[in-house]
Structure 1
Amino acid sequence: MKDSKQHEVDLRRLLAVLILGIALTAGLSLWVLLRLHHRQVHTAATRNVLQLGVAMDAYLAGQTEVVSNRTVTSWEHFSALVQSFYTVEQGLQYVAVTENGVSVFHRQVAPHPSGETVQLPARERSGPEWSSAPLPRNVRLRLKVLRTGDHDIPVVTFTKDVVSVNGSVKSVEVALRREIVDREAAGPVAATTAMFEVAVVTVAVAFGFCIILVLWVMRREEAYEKRRQKEEHLAFAGSMAGGVVHDFRNPLSSLKLDVQMLREEADSEAAGSRETIKELATRATHAAERMEEVLQQFLSLSSPQEEEQQAMDLGVCVKDCLKMIETRLARQKVTVDARMMEDHLQVSAYATSLRRGLLNVLMNAEQHSPQGGRIVVSLRREEEMALLEVADCGPGIPAGERDHVFEKFVTTRPGGTGLGLFLARTAIEKCGGTIDVTEAEGGGACFSMRLPLAGVTASHAPRT
């Protein structure tokens, strides 16, 4: 019972760990999907920024101030246009125009960093988001950092060369702060993060509910199993009580009648009363023995002894059992034909239980044999099993009833307890063997018992 309870506890823990593992796997999968989605969102935001920078650079490069040869005062319209761009997109850091390497226009629309512009190393200037983006051939992309005393401002610059009317080359450079990529991705990232959190909470609640439900079902099944076992025990106790009353009634009535007649004979002075008294005393003794036999069988059924499995000589055990019923056999004038083809067959068995079971089979054969009958007992080896057969010359057992003769309280003999063959089957199966009944040659019943030989019991585990 303790092992069964421990098994149930281990099963509950296993199921809880399994469900928890599935929940963690689901959560990890959601996290991986979230990271992949964030990466895709960031990539899409980067491409949007690239398209914005290219469009702004191309638009500014096409302005009259750039392609013509106007004076510095004519750049006021260009400056106002840059300011308008900043109003729409505050991620714009500056716009610069150079001609033959000389700066002709520079407008710092964002807060001006009082520091130098540093180009990033090559490993920081290239990335999957920036390098994979399609750009026009005449637009150059660079990642820079505007360093100040307090902080750095990472920017991405777009430079386009334009040939003016006088043949000079002007370069229009638009710088966008890279933080606008995060700003572009902030909305989708926040939405997917919220969805992830909701999904995680949903998964946690669902799997938590599953764990609680599984534990509740297992506890319910455990309670049902305990209730069923209790009902079976009560039913078995009722059957035991009914069997005891039924099987004690006949010998007890006979004993009571014999004692009454014995008392009457003791008071009588008739001749021959001595022989009658002796006969009545013998009958009373037999009735008491019968009651003791019934009581012993019920005790064996209700409280089986605990013993260890060990190697034992099956031939010696059979001979001992035959010797124990020698008087009964002589009384019925029943002979035994013992065909011990292999006397010393060592089997792995529970000695006390097996001896009692074999004794019950032999007594069953004696009880069903007619007066002057014969019982054939044979023992031989059959592969890795010992085969013991007990055949009588009684009325036999109908084919339709052979599957039921080993059940509790099933008997074909008037006055039988219906426990002898049940105890025999229980003992033999406990040793890892089998027992069945067939029709014997010439009529009668033949009980075949197979028991594993000592040393080969690993493949024949005992049944309980």
Structure 2
Amino acid sequence: MKSAFLDKLMERLDRMDPGSLQTHFLRLAREKGLLETIFRAVREGIIVLDGRGRITYANRAAEQMLGFQADAAAGQPIHRFLREIDWDRLLELDAEEWSRLVAREIEISYPERRFLDFYVVPLAAVADAERGAVVLLRDVTRDREHEARAVESERLNVLTLLAAGVAHEIGNPLNSLNIHLQLIERELDEVPPEQRKNLVELVGVSRREVARLDGILTQFLRALRPNPPNLAPGSVAEVLRETLEFLQHEIRDRDVLVEVEAPDALPEIPLDADQIKQAFFNLIRNAIQAMPGGGLLEIILRETDRFVEIAFRDHGPGIPSGELNRLFEPYHTTRPKGSGLGLAIVQRIVRDHGGQIEVHSEPGAGTTFTLLLPRSGRRLRLLKAPPPEDRVQPAGGAP
């Protein structure tokens, strides 16, 4: 884009004395420096392309969004960094089509998953130079996340209303059934012995099924209407230790080896120990069940500037990519006997603590769930690691 000043300068260039020429070039340099300062400061990504789609300029925001260095990318075709756009098609547009603004939203996965509003603004050709373009990028990832959370919140509100009806319509009859089954058990003492054994077994099966349904109902209500967390400074490492201790028999019976990797000190963070223990319990049980033949469960604790991170990594079959977006939906499960509520409970607990939960899975290589819990500045020494004989070993392992 040419300015009136630049047009006049080009017309008078042959008639200028060296002093005037120097003055004008200094003015151009100052204007160029001002523009570069502005471009570096704006949050939108700006990329200038030549007529062949090669990068001639990129600002700092574009570098961060697309994961490259402007100096190294100069002269490189833009499709190396933005594969989601058909650049060959764009560069073949005729003059009329090229004069229109091209705009769309794209999703990229490198250097991290982002949603970008993408604009291509055509640049008019100057003299014999090829026409070029300016690519404008705006990161709308947070907007999309807020929209997704709003949709999820609305869905959970609807399910919460449903839960109230479920509690009334199913919970009360279940209690009644359980009471009457207890009364029947008492009456069985009057039944002849040859009939009693079979009836006792049938009543026992009925009571167990009633208890199972009551447990599902309780989990459902807990997932949708949990108590607000009672936050107090606490040690994530201590909560993890207590959870592993509670599950140690199941861990050994399933032939699972648990390895915990943690720094010597972690910050004490605000948490509800009972709720975080429930989240840990659900994730560890999921990992155990993902490895029915036994295997290794890695639990990695670390801290960043904002969070304490707890990663649970199993070495099971992994989760199909098509299932990842539905993992936290209530009642969605990939296991035949799963209730589909465990991960919904974990997500709600973590979010009520102001944290985040991330999942990464590769078919055939296992799954990693990572909890990010907001940290505080105070530090707490971890408990000393137990001696080797007290560490969780797989069944049949070394004592």
The bucket for the TM-score relative to the shorter chain is: 0.3 to 0.5
Q: What TM-score, normalized by structure 1, do the two folds share?
A: 0.38
Indicate the structure (1 or 2) with the bigger Cα radius of gyration: 1
More helix by share: 1
